[in-house]
Amino acid sequence: MINNMNRIVISGSIYLLLVIFMIFLLENVQSASPIIKINSGSSSNSGFFWHVTDPHLDSDYSQGSSVECGELICCRKSSPGNSTKAGRFGSYGPCDIPLETFMSALDFIKTYPLEASFVFYGGDNLAHDDWNYNQEYNLNYGLLVANALRSGLSGSKFQNRIIPSMGNHDMAPINLTPLDPSKNAWYLHPVGDAFQFSFNSFPDGPAALNSFKEMGYYTVLLEPGFRAVVINTQFCNPLNFWLLSTTDKDPGQQLAWLNTTLAAAQAANEKVVILGHIPPGISTSSSLEESTGEFNLGMSKIVERYSSILVGQFYGHTHNDHLKVFKDVATSTKPTGVAYVTPAVTQWEEHNPSFRLVQYNKQTFQLENIFTFVANLTKANLDGKITWSMEYDFINGYGLTDLSPASINGLIFNQLNPVKEQWDKFALRFGAGYPKNVCHFDKPCKLKKICAMGNVLYSGYDICIKSNGKQ
Ligand SMILES: [Zn+2]
Ligand SMILES: [Zn+2]
């Protein structure tokens, strides 16, 4: 029988071993020489940030193990069967990724030849063995990822600027986040402390760290005139059953806080980017609300009210590459804002590992372009090294002139919906370039995706579905 003290010592030893292993990986990781063509004609006027989300690291990932093992998660030493052997960097199937693949992505970002101002880390630290989740298990992964980000980006210009958010998989049990802040201290306090080096690099960092540790949401001033607001999407996750314990329409008072924060930003003449884990709106595949209806409505009102200062929103969670366009609440016809959903670093389930670079104008802080990077795991496993390459950028990849809400709405309804060639590009990019499970132009899955991307409110989605995507 293991007493508590022994358990802490054992858990600490495992953690130390993981950190040593991580340092070993850092010294041995290989990356491609990264070259991209930046869209802007005046790129000296551009700022950049990276968005990395959903690594779902699996410390039990084992090269040579069974990929189609018949269980919910495979590619582990314990996986039964003798099917396709798992590759070194990950394998397409019900598998997550080893730490080495995540470190490779961070090394690519660190050595990329342009000056980014920060990295947004979107959450979901650990693998999909949801039944194993407990506070100790999940916290070890939280600290592992925090240290991986810190050491993996060490030496880069933005090494002190990693902006974290919490994912639904970071909670134990999965999705469950009590509304009483003290009950989440087991995760938010130590993980917040692990990112203290980053919070300290912002002028309002100490207050932001306190807010993260208490509520999971916070705001930091990125540079004069440009602010990041990180929301805790567990307060709008329909699978967080703690939300059933309250009649409060604004759990965690997050929307009230967001309103106050944006009002202050507007008064200070700042532009704002909103960052989070679960995207607002409706699922692109199931027609179910991805975030609660009350949140979708509250958020739609806020986005409409502050559309002049909001430059964009970034989320992860679905592991796919897609969009969400906010519309005015009264008519669901006028685009007011855009949420970009960045595909995951894990391949779960059957897409290429990926992450993003966002380009913005340094004077206006408006978004200029978004670049998606991917790796082909089959090639990586054959080559013995991961080659990250740019899959596409929004402006050139879709033939856009800008990333305004009207342009993105036009992309969805005037290009992706009626033009097969444009849809085919999107459908492949949805899975980060992996050509399996592609939703074809003539299939019913297309209309669901079009309407879920073109609306955040269910009322607008319903009209869209009934009118066959005419909007
Ligand atoms: Zn995830
Ligand atoms: Zn998630």
What is residue 38's predicted lDDT score, i.e. its pLDDT?
55
What would you report as the CA-atom Rg of the chain, rounded to the nearest whole angstrom?
A: 21
56 annotated to bind ligand? yes
Give the ligand whose atoms come closest to the C-alpha of residue 348. 1
Q: How far is the CA of 377 from the centre of ligand 1 (A)?
A: 18
What is residue 36's predicted lDDT score, i.e. its pLDDT?
52
CB neighbour class for 232 (10 Å; exposed up to 12, middle 13-18, buried from 19): buried
Report the chain's mean pLDDT, rounded to a whole number. Answer: 92
For residue 445, the one-letter residue type is C
Give the ligand whose atoms come closest to the C-alpha of residue 170. 2
160 annotated to bind ligand? no
Question: Does 26 have pLDDT greater than 50?
Answer: no
168 annotated to bind ligand? yes
Contact present, 36 and 396 (Cβ < 8 Å): no
Q: How far is the CA of 75 from the centre of ligand 2 (A)?
A: 21
Residue 278: pLDDT band by 50, 70, 90 thresholds? very high
What is residue 27's predicted lDDT score, i.e. its pLDDT?
42
What is residue 34's predicted lDDT score, i.e. its pLDDT?
39
Q: How far apart are the first and last CA of the chain?
A: 64
DSSP 394-430: HHHHHT-S---HHHHHHIIIIIITT-HHHHHHHHHHH
189 annotated to bind ligand? no
How far, in Å, CA of 403 to CA of 167, rounded? 27
Per-residue CA distances from 139 to 133, 146, 166, 461 (Å)? 10, 10, 12, 38
The backbone torsions φ and ψ at residue 327, rounded to the nearest 5 degrees and listed phi first, read -125, 165
Q: How far is the CA of 364 from the centre of ligand 2 (A)?
A: 32
Residue of 414, 415, 409 whose CA lies nearest to 456:
409
200 annotated to bind ligand? no
Q: How far is the CA of 166 from the centre of ligand 1 (A)?
A: 11
Q: How far is the CA of 257 from the centre of ligand 1 (A)?
A: 26
Instruction: Indicate the range of 155-164, 192-201, 333-342, 431-440 predicted with least confidence.
Output: 155-164
30-59: burial string, b at 16+ Cβ within 10 Å, e else:
ebeebeeebbeeeeeebbbbbbbbbbbbbb
Domain 36-61+115-133+157-466 coded CATH 3.60.21: yes
71-96: burial string, b at 16+ Cβ within 10 Å, e else:
eebbbbeebeeeebebbbbbbbbbbb
322 annotated to bind ligand? no
What is residue 15's predicted lDDT score, i.e. its pLDDT?
52
- Structural tokens at position 292: 């609660």
DSSP 328-376: -TTTS-SEEEEEEEPPPSS-TTTS--EEEEEEEETTT--EEEEEEEEE-
**Of 204 and 11, more confident:** 204
317 annotated to bind ligand? yes
Q: How far is the CA of 167 from the centre of ligand 2 (A)?
A: 5
Domain coordinates in residue numbering, the chain: 36-61+115-133+157-466
Q: How far is the CA of 196 from the centre of ligand 2 (A)?
A: 23
What is residue 33's predicted lDDT score, i.e. its pLDDT?
34
DSSP 210-248: HHHHHHS-EEEEEETTEEEEE--GGGS-TT-GGGGG---
DSSP 366-404: -EEEEEEEEE-HHHHHHHTS--EEEEEEHHHHHT-S---
Question: Does 81 have pLDDT greater than 50?
Answer: yes
How far, in Å, CA of 343 to CA of 267, rounded? 34
Q: How far is the CA of 234 from the centre of ligand 2 (A)?
A: 10
Neighbours of ion ligand 1 (CB under 5 A): 54, 124
